[in-house]
């Protein structure tokens, strides 16, 4: 009998894009299908964890066996994460969080005119960095989708956000696709994984996390 690698662990995951409203019918978002985050949630359930998935708007069905909390904006995502992080052993930020929110969002539809229209943006909170700096922070894992200099930017991001493990991928290769090609970055170095389906890679990521939190398992 092989015990499951994350049996008894609580895992909190963010997935999908966030949606920042401009007015009643328009908004700003990031390109993200949610597939990678949902695959990670599924892999964590398979590994025996209790999983809470905080999800931005996606077209995906909630993975069986996990609690899904739906949100739209980055602020809502942060609030939901902070409401659930207390009992989490592991936090995995897979969401493509919008970097900015609209400052003076209009409750009603803005009427079209021939004049230029400016939208003022205000920076969103960094959910991963916020969780990683909590006094009782869970084991934190970040994702970095870059369009160039992937490993260099990802290394910098891992240090800046102070997370023990960061998953780097080339953004263009990952968006919407079922396959992905990722490199895991931790204190031991770079671990490139061969191109595979997001579900296979999610399982490898979960096993890597399990080894990091219980090195002698
Ligand atoms: O800085 P960047 O957005 O590239 O960092 C990506 C990582 O940080 C991902 O794990 C993402 O989920 C997380 N993140 C976050 N809150 C933000 C921006 C990014 O949690 N506002």
Residue 44 Cα, ligand 1 centroid: separation in angstroms?
A: 20
Active site annotation includes 124: no
Q: How far is the CA of 23 from the centre of ligand 1 (A)?
A: 25
Question: 10-213, superfamily in CATH?
Answer: CoaB-like (3.40.50.10300)
Task: Return the pLDDT at 170.
Answer: 83
What spacing in Å lies between the alpha carbon of 94 and ligand 1's midpoint? 8
Tokens at residue 9, please? 């662990």
Residue nearest to atom 6 of ligand 1 (CA): 144
Q: What is the pLDDT of residue 60?
A: 97
Q: State the pLDDT at residue 175.
A: 78
The answer to whether 11 touches 88, Cβ cutoff 8 Å, is yes
Distance CA 196, CA 187 (A): 24
d(CA 209, CA 139): 9
| C-alpha distances in Å from residue 63, one per residue of 84, 85, 106, 129 | 18, 20, 35, 26
- What pLDDT sits at residue 168? 96
How confident is the model at residue 174, as a pLDDT? 74
Taking the chain (217 residues) in runs of 10, the rounded mean pLDDT of each run is 88 98 96 95 98 98 96 98 98 97 94 95 97 97 92 94 94 81 95 95 97 81
By most ligand atoms within 8 Å of CB, the mutation choice from 143, 158, 171 for ligand 1 is 143
Reported ipTM: 0.96
Give distance in angstroms: CA of 136 to centre of ligand 1. 20
Spatial distance between the Cα atoms of 142 and 5, rounded to a whole number of angstroms: 20
**Is the beta carbon of 97 within 6 A of some atom in ligand 1?**
yes
Nearest residue (by CA) to ligand 1, atom 9, is 143
* CA 134 – CA 26 distance, rounded (Å): 34
What is residue 171's predicted lDDT score, i.e. its pLDDT?
Answer: 80
Domain extent listing, the chain: 10-213
Identify the pLDDT of residue 173: 76
Burial track 23-35 (b if 16+ CB lie within 10 A, e otherwise): eeeebbbbebbbb
Ligand 1 within 6 A of CB of 199: no
Q: How far apart are CA 30 and CA 162, in angstroms?
A: 24
Question: Residue 37: its pLDDT value, please?
Answer: 97
Closest by CA to 153, choosing from 144, 141, 161, 162, is: 144
């Amino acid at each position: 009998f092989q015990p499951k690698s994350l049996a008894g662990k609580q895992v909190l995951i963010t997935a999908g894009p966030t949606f920042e409203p401009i007015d009643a019918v328009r908004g700003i978002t990031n390109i993200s299908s949610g597939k990678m985050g949902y695959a990670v949630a599924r892999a964590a359930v398979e590994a025996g964890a209790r999983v809470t998935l905080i999800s931005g708007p996606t077209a995906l069905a909630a993975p069986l066996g996990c609690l899904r909390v739906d949100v739209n904006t980055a602020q809502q995502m942060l609030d939901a994460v902070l409401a659930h992080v207390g009992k989490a052993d592991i936090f995995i930020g897979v969401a493509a969080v919008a970097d900015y929110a609209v400052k003076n969002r209009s409750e009603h539809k803005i009427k079209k005119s021939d004049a230029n229209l400016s939208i003022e943006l205000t920076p969103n909170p960094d959910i991963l960095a916020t969780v990683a700096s909590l006094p009782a922070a869970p084991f934190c894992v970040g994702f970095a989708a870059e369009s160039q200099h992937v490993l260099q930017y990802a290394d910098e991001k891992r240090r800046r956000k102070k997370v023990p493990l960061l998953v780097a991928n080339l953004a263009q290769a990952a968006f919407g696709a079922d396959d992905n090609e990722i490199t895991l970055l931790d204190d031991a170095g770079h671990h490139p994984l061969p191109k595979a389906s997001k579900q296979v890679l999610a399982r490898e990521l979960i096993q890597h996390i399990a080894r990091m939190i219980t090195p002698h398992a």
